[in-house]
Each structure stands twice: as structure tokens, then as C-alpha cells.
Amino acid sequence: MPIVKNVSRAVNQLLQSSGCGCGISVVPVRRIGISPRQVASDASFHSVSFSRSDHPRVLITGGLGQLGVGLAKLLRKRFGKNNVILSDIRKPADNVFYSGPFIYSDILDYKNLREIVVNNRITWLFHYSALLSAVGEANVPLARAVNITGLHNVLDIAAEHNLRLFVPSTIGAFGPTSPRDPTPDLCIQRPRTIYGVSKVHAELMGEYYHYRYGLDFRCLRYPGIISADSQPGGGTTDYAVQIFHDAIKTGKFQCNLKPDTRLPMMYIDDCLKATLEVMEAPAEALSMRTYNISAMSFSPEELAQEVQKHVPELQVTYSVDAVRQAIADSWPMNFDDSNARRDWGWKHDYDLPELVTTMFSFLGSDSRIAQAS
Ligand SMILES: NC(=O)c1ccc[n+]([C@@H]2O[C@H](COP(=O)([O-])OP(=O)(O)OC[C@H]3O[C@@H](n4cnc5c(N)ncnc54)[C@H](O)[C@@H]3O)[C@@H](O)[C@H]2O)c1
Ligand SMILES: C[C@@H](O)[C@H](N)C(=O)O
């Protein structure tokens, strides 16, 4: 139960941290010494032995989706295989299971999640579990549970155990009343999807816990992410991954968005690089706790033209999905990430031509290109 022992002191601290300039002496928020949720511990503490090291001990929730396995690979290279635990409610493929530690974790099970954090001495948590925009609209109660209740569990455990917490947000955290070209970090956010609403909630709750409890919360708003060796989990930007697979397999692609629908996109390597960089950035460098990151922005017709340079016979047709189109029409067209570039040196490596070339070299499209020429 949350117990605020001295409300007026806490209010003063909040006012101070928001820069009200009232002249009240500042007590660091970290010293309040209360945790947002205190539950009597009944976790069975296994005796697990670890070698001492300066590396963070990492847990990734929702790690079997499009982004988690790649993130684990990157973090294991940096911090050592056994210092990075992937978790999910799904069964891992053999190659994932044997590539490093994996554990079952349902983020809706607060005590189980806390036990994992305690028993494995977790210090950094990457919270990837979520229902994305299109699947979220198809199952609002589940999206609300996973994206909002699950986030509350993660925030409380992170605050209680002093974790550094990364929660990704998204271009979907903006809505039709936000400036769309470009969309700055700070502007009106009135998304019209449960996904977007839950992500704005995550940004605000994470920042609130940072200022209120001293939680080391870090958040990036990702564009649509494009990857070759993992499949997207039901979002509005999925077409930009599917086109590569269809170009190679059948030479035909049916796009579910209109040809001129412009959205910010990013190659997965840039996304994961940014995630690690913001987690490693010194706290003093972060003037904000939630940043836009950007790499490129394109429409289906522009992507198709670039893909056709590799697979000239690719035929693209359009059969618009009304739900996805309405979502895309409410999202940013271009993302302003100047704050990330200024504060912690964010710089992307992949523009559209490099992205397309890299996707095809990954997917082994040589035979198709050979057939085409
Ligand atoms: N992929 C993108 O284009 C993109 C863009 C912006 C933001 N993001 C964010 O990045 C994160 C990861 O995205 P992704 O593309 O890998 O998502 P994904 O949909 O591919 O994977 C999400 C994972 O969460 C898991 N999950 C669902 N319910 C769970 C529960 N109760 N407990 C534990 N795990 C559960 C699923 O099994 C799945 O493996 C998400 O938070 C997403 O919102 C992704
Ligand atoms: C943009 C992002 O959050 C996700 N790929 C979606 O389309 O839902």
C-alpha cells in the first residue's frame, strides 16, 4: 500500500522538482524512502550464485516479440550472456532458448515478476511486453490489462528495487490533434487508440515515478521498426516488413495502407542502438525522460519504388484496411528528434536505401534479383 508519511514535504519536493522557484529547500526525492507498493514478500529465494561484476543484470519482458531477441543479442554482447534474461509468456524457439537465459514471466503476475527481479538480482529492466496498435484495437480489454496494468506492476517493482527502467513509447502516442510534420517531443497528445492512450500513460507514469520516487525511468518513442529476422506483432507499420517477404516469395504485395501514407520508420539496428545508448547515457545528460527518435520517413509507394530497384518485377496493389488507415492518418508523418541528438548524441545509421539493401542481403534475395535481371 502506498504510504505518504509527510504530504506537505512531498508536495514541496514535487513543486521544487518542477521548477516552481518557490524558494523552499530541496530534499532529494530519492530520500523519501517510500516505495509505491509494498507487498509482504513470500518469494522463495533460491540460492543462485553469480560472479560479481560491474555489468547490469538485465531482464527483458515481452522479449519474444519483434524487438526483444535482437535487444538480448546486443546486450549480451555488451554485458555477457548470463547477465541478460529474456522473458515472455510464449514458448521460445530452440535457437532463442539455447542462446542465453530465458524465463517465463507474465507481467500481470506481480509477485512472480518481483520474485524474478529479486532472485536474479536484476538492476536494469527493459519492458517490451505490449499489445501493438492494430491488435490492441481488436482486443481492448486485453490491451488495457497488458499495456496499463502490466506497466503499473513493472513501475512498482522497478521503484521498489531501484532498477533502471526502459519503457518504449511510440509514434502512436500522438493523435490527430498533434502537429504531424514534424512532431516535436512536447506537444498535445490525444491518441485515438488504446495502444496510444496506454503509451501516453506509460510516459506520464514513468516521469511521475521519476520525479516522485526517484525512479531512473528512460523512454524512447520508436517509429515503426523494420527487421528481417523477426516478425512484427500486429501494428499499423507492419506492411513495411511484409513487403520484403512478399517481394522475395511471390513478387506480389498487397498493401493495407494508401500509397501516400507517410510514417516515420527505422531499421531495427538503429532502434536497439538508441535503446542501449539512452540507457547508458549519464543522468545529467538527459534533460528529459521521454525522447522522440527518428531515422527516415516514407510512404508505401516510396518504399515500393526502392524495393523495386532490387526486385523490379514486384507488383504492388492496395487494399486499404480501414482501421489501420485511420490509425496511420492520425500519427506523425515526420518526427523531430533534435533533443535526443543534442542531449545524448543520437544519430541514425540507416536511411531508406541502406535499409532496403540491408533487408535484402539479410533475407537472401539474390536469386530473385538474378531472376529479375
Ligand atoms: N515494433 C515496432 O515497430 C514498435 C514501434 C514502437 C514501439 N514499440 C514498442 O516496443 C515494444 C516491443 O515491441 P515488439 O514489436 O517487439 O512487440 P511484439 O508485439 O512483437 O511483442 C510483444 C511481446 O509481448 C508479449 N506479451 C504479451 N502479453 C504479455 C504478458 N501478459 N506478459 C509478458 N509478455 C507479454 C508477447 O508474447 C510478445 O512476445 C512494445 O512495447 C512496443 O509498443 C514497437
Ligand atoms: C509504430 C509502432 O508502435 C507499432 N509498429 C505499431 O504500428 O503499432
Q: Check which CATH number belongs to the domain holding 94 and give it.
A: 3.40.50.720
Domain span at residue 360? 11-18+56-372
The single residue listed with the C-alpha cell 530452440 is 94
**50 in any annotated domain:** no
Encode pLDDT of 252-293 as tens digits: 999 999 999 999 999 999 999 999 999 999 999 999 999 999
Contacting residues for 299 by C-beta, under 8 A, at least 6 apart: 259, 260, 261, 262, 263
pTM: 0.89
Residue 41 confidence (pLDDT) above 90: no
Encode pLDDT of 56-89 as tens digits: 999 999 999 999 999 999 999 999 999 999 999 9
| Span 153-175, average pLDDT | 98
**26 in any annotated domain:** no
* Dist. CA 304–CA 242, nearest whole Å: 11
Is the CB of 240 within 6 Å of ligand 1?
no
Give percent above pLDDT 90 in the chain: 83
Ligand at minimal distance from the CA of 63 is 1
Count: domains in the chain: 1
Q: What are the backbone dihedrals phi and psi of residue 220, each rounded to the nearest 5 degrees, phi first?
A: -120, 140
Cα of 195 vs centre of ligand 2, distance in Å, is 9
**3 in any annotated domain:** no
* Dist. CA 182–CA 196, nearest whole Å: 18
How would residue 185 be classed by pLDDT, with cut points 50, 70 and 90?
very high
Residue 38, pLDDT score: 56
Is the reported ipTM for this assembly greater than 0.90? yes
**183 in any annotated domain:** yes
Residue 364, pLDDT score: 86
Ligand at minimal distance from the CA of 143 is 1
Residue 31 confidence (pLDDT) above 70: no
Average pLDDT, the chain: 88
**268 in any annotated domain:** yes
For every residue of 241-294, DSSP letters joined together read: HHHHHHHHHTSEEEESS-TT--EEEEEHHHHHHHHHHHHHS-GGG-S-SEEE--
Contacting residues for 69 by C-beta, under 8 A, at least 6 apart: 63, 86, 96, 230
**229 in any annotated domain:** yes
Cα of 147 vs centre of ligand 1, distance in Å, is 9
**23 in any annotated domain:** no
**300 in any annotated domain:** yes
β-strand pairing of 216-222 with 290-292 = parallel
- Alpha carbon nearest to ligand 1 atom 2, residue: 225
Cα of 16 vs centre of ligand 2, distance in Å, is 36
Cα of 76 vs centre of ligand 1, distance in Å, is 20
How would residue 26 be classed by pLDDT, with cut points 50, 70 and 90?
very low
Which of 67, 171, 197 gets mutated to test ligand 2 (max ligand atoms within 8 A of its CB)?
A: 171
Cα of 133 vs centre of ligand 2, distance in Å, is 6
Choosing from 128, 195, 239, 350, which is the catalytic residue?
195
Which of 59, 67, 199 gets mutated to test ligand 1 (max ligand atoms within 8 A of its CB)?
A: 67
Which of 88, 135, 275, 290 gets mutated to test ligand 1 (max ligand atoms within 8 A of its CB)?
A: 88
195 flagged as catalytic: yes
Is the CB of 236 within 6 Å of ligand 2?
yes
Encode pLDDT of 302-333 as tens digits: 999 999 999 999 999 999 999 999 999 999 99
